[in-house]
Structure formats: C-alpha cells, structure tokens
Structure 1
Amino acid sequence: MNPAVRDAAHVVDAASVMGLLATRPRLLALGEPTHGEEVLLDLRNDLFRQLVEQEHYRTITIESDCMMGLVVDDYVTSGTGTLDEVMERGFSHGWGAYAANRELVRWMRAYNDGRPASEPLRFAGFDGPLEITGAASPRQSLTALHACLTAWVDADLLPCAADTLDRLLGADDRWTDPAAMMDPSRSVGQTPEAKQLRLLADDLAALLYAQAPHLLAASSRDDWDRARMYGRTATGLLRYHFWMADTSPSRMARLLGVRDSMMAANLLAIAERGPALANAHNGHLQRNKSRMRMGGLPVEWWSAGAIVSARLGEGYAFLATALGTIRHQGVEAPPPDTVEGLLYALPEDRYVVDARRLAAVVDDVTPAPRVSPWFGYSPLDPAHVAGHDGIVFVRDARPS
C-alpha cells in the first residue's frame, strides 16, 4: 500500500468532503462510473443527507427527466400524490424502480414535513426528456410554456394560438419513432412544421424574458422557474430533433452535445435558487470533454460539468466515483498499476480521496489506464485525476 495514497484517503462523510474544498460550492456534484449499482445510490443518499443537514444544501437533482421531476418535487415539498405514484411517474430511465431512489424520496418528504414552506428541500431532474433510443415530443413543454404566457400576458403579444402549435406538432408518435435514432430520414426534426415550431418556441421563450418584471410580480418565483424550464426544454427538444434529422458525420457528436448543454442549462438554473447537490454519471459531470466510440468511430463533446464549471468557477465542485470490482458484471479486481488498483490496496471498503494529492502520486508512478471488460463501467482516466475535487472510492459492488 502506497503511504501517500493512504494519507490522501478519508472517511466518506460531509466533513471530509467539505475539507477538500476551499469554499462551499453552489453546486456540488457526485458522479458515478456506472448506473444502477445500489451500493453507490445508498452511499449517495447517506452523503447527501449529511450535506443537507450539516451544510444546508437546498436541492437534490439527479440525471432524470426534468419535466417528470416536477411530480417528485410536488410530492417532497407539499405531499401531492402518493409515494407509489411518484416513483412510477416522476422518474425517467427506469430510476423509479430502484429502492435507494425510493428511500431518497421518502426521506426528503419526511425532512420537509413540518418545515416552513419558505425553506423546503427541493427535488429536480436535470436531464432533458431524452432516452438513448430517442427523444420525447416537444408537445408537453411547448404547450405548457404557451399556457403560462396565455395566463399572464396580453393575447396580442403571443406569436401564435394554441391550436397552431397543435396543428404543427401533429401526432406525438411522429416525434418519438425509435427508428429515427439510427435512421435520420425517419426524423421529423427538419420538416417545415418543425422548423416553424423552432421559431415559435424561440419567440415564446423570448417573450417570457421580455415580460419578466410583470411575470415575477404577477406570479410566484416557482411559477417563473417552471416556465423558464418549459422554455429551455421546448427549445432544446426541437434542437435535438433537428439534429436527429442530420446526415453529416458530426450528427452523433451534435446530439450528445445538445443533451449535455440541456443538462448544463438546467443545472445552472437549479444553482441560481440556492446550494444544490447533483448526481449523475461521471461522464456528464466531469470537467473534461466526454468521449466514446459509436459505430466504431470516436465521438467527443463538452460535458455538462465542463460547461457548468466554466460558468461557475469555484461555485462548482465535482467528486468522481470509482469502483474496485463489479464481479456480477465481470469486472474483477483492478490491476495494481491503475488508479483504481492503488485505491483497491487500501484496507477499508470506501473512502473519499483528495484528488490533487492523489494526482501527485499518479505523476510519480504513471499508472496505466484501466480497461473494463464490461462496457457499462467507465474507469478513471489517470490524466484527469487532478481535474477532480475528490474521488469517492468503493471497493466492491455486489448484486442487489
């Protein structure tokens, strides 16, 4: 065991995390190297509870559909609905089926029970209404934005009537055709109707900002924030669908970049309203470009974390998470000459590690990149260790 690595490792708790940071960041992000491992979600819950209770973070946001997340926020802040309904309707990507996510929502509701209405702990999804197989219709966000403006501003300021949007949108299954992800000709994103919708969505979002003094006086800050999210989501989805219809070699890089830029815009808006905690894949939260191979070709784009970090500076902090083994997925103990191998030699099950001190060790020993036999696990890149504020290391992930 390398003594310098041992000296850089601390118990995983809020005090250790804050001890790595020069100041309390406005947005503190905890990444994960793979999705769906309950040990990582349980660790997240424990750490986020401590950070809420001890450091007064006011929002928890995860890599889930921002529109669906409104259902969860209504439940944890005011008790709207039931826990079963919320887990079914409030999460994308299947996250509602995970016991740790259910426990997080249950705890947030219990934490808010009896608290002043002016000091709630909030929940948010920060992903767009997107899946790996495609994207949602822009109908929900676009019509919600139009409805907000209809209720608040003079009708003659609106660029169109609601039935115009309905006619241009057409049937939702035109937008959600899963074949369009692999076949641009199946996408409706560059049809004349879609192009007109992009202009109308832009005009509606611009009107929202132009009327900000009136809207903030006539409604609540929560209403304003939701309307802004509708605008970001509608314009983002229409942009995403536009590039789904693209046939150039940069198509996938553009789609991945649009998704992360939508994530970044949501994270920045969440951070505006107070200190927030975020949880998502390391690849979305890191400060570096994200990279992957698709169809045998390399694709790279700026991650949401890179965009947010560029905007917030020290107001953004990122903890990457790494795993030693995921044996049920064929990921065995890491080679000792990798970053994970250095951490795996430590005696305890989990640590939070000072990334900058670890980077000094990495510079001395020049570890090899770890190669995972399973595509679902993304190992740490030795070249990027110094760009993290900390690394959370969990020795073993076991089947749920």
Structure 2
Amino acid sequence: MATDIEDIARTVDAATVMDLLPARPRMLALGEPTHGEDSLLDLRNALFRRLVEEEGYRTIAIESDCTAGLVVDDHIASAAGAPAEDEVMRRGFSHGFGASAANRELVRWMRAYNDGRPASERLRFAGFDGPLEITAAASPRQALTALHGTLTAWVGAEPLPCTAQTLDRLLGPDDRWTDPGAMWDPAESAGRSAEAAELRLLADDMAALLDAQAPHLATATPRDDWDRARLYARTATGLLRYHACMADPGPSRMARLVALRDRMMADNLLALAERGPVLVHAHNRHLQREKSTMRMGGRELEWWSAGALVSARLGGEYAFLATALGTIRHQGVDTPPPDTVEGLLYALPEAECLVGGRLLAAALQDGLPAPRVSPYHGYFPLDPAHLAENDAIVFVKDMPPPRRAG
C-alpha cells in the first residue's frame, strides 16, 4: 500500500496541479484543515503566484469579509493614494487574518505585481465571506446605505422604496445588531424586530430594482462599480436573513446559521467567477464537495459548503485541493496513527507532496483507513470515505511553531 502511494505522490507546484485536472478550471480552490498556521499560507502564496504567472488566474479570494476586502483590492490596484499597509491589514481582513505575516506578504506581492501593468492584466483581491464572525454578525448599515446611495446616484430617488433617513431610523444604533450575546441567546437578537422585518423588505426591493436596471446599468457604469453594487445588494439581503435566523429559537438554528453563511460565500464566489478565473483559499469545510460537519453548541451540525454549492453550479469548472497535515505539535497534534490517511502519507519521505484524490482512493481500495481523531478542536482531519471527491490532496508533514507578523 505504501509503495502504491509513493508512486502517485508528486511535488506541490502549479504544473503538477494542472496535470491532475482535465483542463484549467474557472475556479481553483485550495483548502486548509485549520486556521492560524502561516506555513500553510506560505505554501498557498507560492502556489498561487505560480498559478497567476503560468495559468493566467487574475483574482485571489480568501475566507474574509467581502466588504472589508474592498479595502485590500483598492490598495493593490494603486501604487499611490491608497491607505498605508498597516491600515489595510487592519481594516481589510476579518477573523484576525490581517495579523498574519503571510497575508501581509500576499498583499505586498499582489501590489508589486500590479505596479505598472495595464488594468486588464492586474490582479484583483476579494474576501468572499460575509461580514460575520463566530461570535457575532455585522450591522447591515454599511451594505444597505451603500446600496441606497449607489441606486440614488444611478436612477434617482423616485424609484427607491425609502429615503436614507428611513433606513437610518430603522437601523438604529449598530450595537443592537452586533451584540455577541445574540449568537447564543436568540432573545438578544434584533433580527426579528419590526424594524428588521421592514428592512428585509426594503433590501429586497432595492436588490430587485438593481436587477431590473441591469440591462442599462451593466453597460452604462464601470464594471467595478456595477460589481460593487451587486456585492452590497447580496450582503444586505444576506446579513438581514442571517440576523433573522439568529433570532430563531428553534433547534435547527445553528445548522441554519452555518448554512446561510456558506450560501453567502457561494454567491460571492459565483459572482467572482463571472469576471474570470479565480483562485480561492479557505478552510476545507467551506470548500469541500461532500456535506460539511462540525460540533457546535453541543450539537452535531451538517450543511452544504460553499464549495459544494459552487460545484453544483460550475461542474467541472470547479476544482478543489484539500490540505491535510501530519503534526501540529504546538497544538497537541502529534504523529498520526499509521492506519489513518494522514499516517500513510506521513510515512512518505517528502515534507510536502501532492496526491490525486481519486488516485489515492484507488490505491486504498483494499481497505478504508481509520478516521483520524484530532485532540485539537481547531484541526479537522480528512474523511477517508470522501477522498475521491477531492481533485487532489496537498499533504504537509509537520507544522513549525507560529511566527509573528512584521
């Protein structure tokens, strides 16, 4: 068995990735089994650079706030006049990802790559997560007011369903939306108040007005402005839907919340795919084709990931590379048992390797490996029953201790 795996293990680079795929996919997604490991992001950076240079990808999207990501996109597009790098890292990322040295290096490289290039050849950056954190969701104010202001400028005030003053009154103070207590206590959420219900109708009306004007606006406005207006519409309606679910006391509440989050991710990814080939990086659980699972709040949750939703729409134009790890000793994850997928890969001599998912599943057909059990809640091992649903698996043997951004 080990010999068979050694025969199909390859170097992790752009050429070998493309050799495993029938054609260049419109969306190529690289997952990670845990967050916070800059070594995995270093690998991502190196692979994505080669895919940009050799395969013509022009958008890099990561699991971060989609509206905050606009700050990064503006920064890498201009050699002058953009916010300072420290401010970009602070405002342009969610989930604490702006503190990552590897994410800072990615931003620097994208900005340097764009310097002096015509607009048609420049790289674009995008966050594709909603403005959501594990403990809270953002106020819909930014998305709603930006959508309202854009529509007012483009079609005038008369067709709009309300004034800006009405939006401000219904939104109220932002802390009523961002209260962390609402994640665990539905009664603390403003998501099903009378004002929130009215805002959902208004957001839907404004999104419908934007769609109704598409034949004119899509050609009469700059493409970036049109894309941002659509992003604001998706974010406003998605956030209000999410807040309404936060206020639901029913037993399926948490499962619905994680599903709604991935639905927002999928909608953002599909919009990015409309403008050309996209490289994506996020947790494996958000990109895999099989149903995702997670234990939260004492319940086992199941939902379809953003990757599964996008794959259902794009078919063969979506490709997914899962990443698996051997050890994360600073998190208590030691050498994997030899009868697990990770243990079999750990026996290979390479520090990093790439293995086709279907090839690996075929090599292991004589007996399904045991599922690995992680002592660290933040690390999710591979599911040996779904290896063939990964276009490839990137295996990294050992994680070094974390480093600080600089």
Runs of at least 5 residues in structure 2 that lack an aligned partner in the other structure:
none
Q: Report the alpha carbon displacement of residue 43 of structure 1 after superposing the two structures with TM.
A: 0.2
1:190 is aligned to: 192
Letter in 1 for 2:284: N
Counterpart residue number, 1:38: 38
> Matches of 1:185 and 1:111 in 2, distance apart?
49
| 8 A contact 2:4–2:363 mirrored in 1 | yes
What's the secondary structure of 1:225's corresponding residue?
helix
1:1-400 equivalence runs, <5 A: 2-79=2-79, 80-400=82-402
- Structure 2: distance between partners of 1:295 and 1:155: 45
Tell me the distance in 2 between the aligned counterparts of 1:245 and 1:141.
20
Greater CA drift, 294-303 or 221-230: 294-303
- Aligned residue for 1:57, secondary structure, equals coil
Secondary structure of the structure 2 residue equivalent to 1:30? strand
CA-to-aligned-CA distance 1:250-285 (integer Å, 9 cap, x gap): 100110000000000001001110000000000000
Q: Measure, in 1, the Cα distance between the counterparts of 2:295 and 2:95.
A: 21
The residue matched to 2:361 in structure 1 has which SS? Answer: helix
Aligned mates of 1:376, 1:154 — CA distance in 2: 49
Aligned identity (percent) is 73
AA aligned opposite 1:62: I
What do residues 119-139 of structure 1 show as CA deviations (whole Å, max 9, x unaligned)?
210000000000000100000
CA contact under 8 A between 2:191 and 2:246: conserved in structure 1? yes
Please say if residues 152 and 218 of structure 1, whose CA atoms lie closer than 8 Å, have aligned partners that are also in contact: no
Instruction: Tell me the distance in 2 between the aligned counterparts of 1:26 and 1:188.
Output: 39
Whole-angstrom distance in 1 between the partners of 2:349 and 2:246: 48
**What secondary structure is seen at the aligned counterpart in 2 of 1:321?**
strand
**Cα deviation, residue 84, structure 1:** 1.5
Q: Take 1:180 and 1:296, find their aligned partners in 2: how far apart are those partners?
A: 17
CA distance in 2, matches of 1:66, 1:375: 26
Structure 2 CA distance for aligned equivalents of residues 117 and 107 of structure 1: 16
State the alpha-carbon separation in 1 of the partners of residues 175 and 196 from structure 2.
14
Contact 1:60-1:276 within 8 A present in 2 as well: yes
Please, which moves more after superposition, 210-219 or 233-242?
210-219
Give the 3-state SS of the residue equivalent to 1:195 in structure 2: helix
Superimposed CA distance per residue, residues 312-365 of structure 1 (whole angstroms, 9 cap, x where no aligned partner):
000100000000000011100000100001100000100111111100122213
Deviation, 1:299, is 1.1
> How many Å apart are 1:296 and its aligned residue?
2.5
Q: Identify which range, 298-307 or 358-367, moves more after superposition.
A: 358-367
CA distance in 1, matches of 2:218, 2:278: 23
* Distance across 2 between alignment mates of 1:48 and 1:83: 21
CA distance, structure 2, for counterparts of residue 256 and residue 210 of structure 1? 30
Give the secondary structure class of the aligned counterpart of 1:283. Answer: helix
Q: CA deviation at 1:11?
A: 0.3
Cα distance in structure 2, aligned partners of 1:219 and 1:82: 28
Q: TM-score, normalised by structure 2?
A: 0.97
Secondary structure in 2 matching 1:365 = coil
1:88: Cα distance to partner? 1.1
Post-superposition offset of 1:217: 3.1
Contact 1:339 1:362 in 2 (8 A): no
Worse overlay, 201-210 or 293-302:
293-302
**Local SS of the residue matching 1:391:** strand
Instruction: State the shift of 1:38 in Å.
Output: 1.2
CA RMSD of aligned residues (A): 0.8
Moved over 4 A (4+): none
Residue type at the aligned position of 1:87: M
Q: Which residues of structure 1 form unaligned runs of 5+?
A: none
| 1:323–1:396 contact (8 Å) kept in structure 2 | yes
Shift of 1:86: 0.8
Could you tell me which amino acid in structure 2 is paired with residue 24 of structure 1?
R
What secondary structure sits across from 2:30 in the alignment?
Answer: strand
**Rounded Cα–Cα distance in structure 2 between residues aligned with 1:362 and 1:247:** 44
Q: Does the residue aligned with 1:118 lie in a helix, a strand or coil?
A: helix
CA contact (8 A) 1:362 1:382 kept: no
SS in 2 for 1:86: helix
Q: Counterparts of 1:355 and 1:213 in 2: how far apart (Å)?
A: 43
In 2, Cα distance between the equivalents of 1:294 and 1:46? 34
User: In 2, are the aligned partners of 1:68 and 1:89 still within 8 Å (CA)?
Assistant: yes
Q: CA deviation at 1:304?
A: 0.4
Q: Could you say what secondary structure the match of 1:299 adopts?
A: strand
Report how many aligned residue pairs link the two structures.
400
Q: Is the 8 A contact 1:190 1:242 kept in 2?
A: yes
Give TM-score, length-normalised by structure 1.
Answer: 0.99
